[in-house]
Amino acid sequence: MNTTLKKIISHLINLKLSICTCESMTGGLLASYFTDIDNSSKVFKGSIVVYGTNIKMNLVKVTKDLIDKYGTISQECANSMASNIQRIFASDLAISVTGNASLTGPVENKPAGLAYVTIYVFDKKHEFCFKSEIAKTRQEIKHECCFFIFEQLWNLIKDLKQ
């Protein structure tokens, strides 16, 4: 069990804040981690997995122009995913992640183990780039990315007060 995530959920419960996720590369793993923690339903509103490009465009309204210009593995795409999911779920916080966990080589000229993350805390956007430096399995890359996200999220919210 991830102790950082336990602290996050406890802190969000105390602050009466909600959170949601929009995942591509992690394929729902962030949501799985959240729902593994007791009482997470008090803060975790839900998640949408948008693995395919059409789903990104149709479900969370990432524009075709943005995808054509920057690609689906980009900070701009992560920003759009987070902003739109926060609005869809009417959540205080939102996390998005998009990247490449493939070990067969680059996707959209982005290396394996690269992910872009956006975390919205209220209306403030925070951008992060995750890079797994050691070749691993897809599963290891996804788990490592989630732990990276939890650390970034905790650093953003640990000083929030009621």
- For helices 3-15 and 138-157, what crossing angle results, to 10°? 40
What is the spatial distance between Cα 116 and Cα 15, in angstroms, rounded to a whole number? Answer: 27
The CB density around residue 46, as the number of other CB atoms within 10 Å, is: 17
- From CA 162, how far away is CA 15, in angstroms rounded? 5
Residue 67: inside a domain, yes or no? yes
Residue 70 counted as domain residue: yes
Task: Look at the chain and report how many structural domains it folds into.
Answer: 1
- Specify the pLDDT at position 98: 97
Is 162 contained in some domain? Answer: no
Range of the domain at 110: 3-157
The per-residue pLDDT for 142 is 94
* CA pair distance 62, 49, nearest whole angstrom: 13
Residues written for the chain = 162
Q: Is residue 153 part of a domain?
A: yes
- 107: in domain: yes
Q: Scanning the structure block, which residue is given the tokens 């900070």? A: 75
Q: CATH no. for residue 60? A: 3.90.950.20
The β-bridge partners of 121 are 93, 124
Q: What is the mean pLDDT of each run of 10 residues along the chain (162 residues)?
A: 89 97 97 96 97 95 97 97 98 97 80 94 98 84 95 96 81
- Longest C-alpha distance within the chain, in Å? 47
Residue 37 included in any domain:
yes
- The pLDDT value given to residue 85: 98
Evaluate whether residue 148 is within a structural domain.
yes
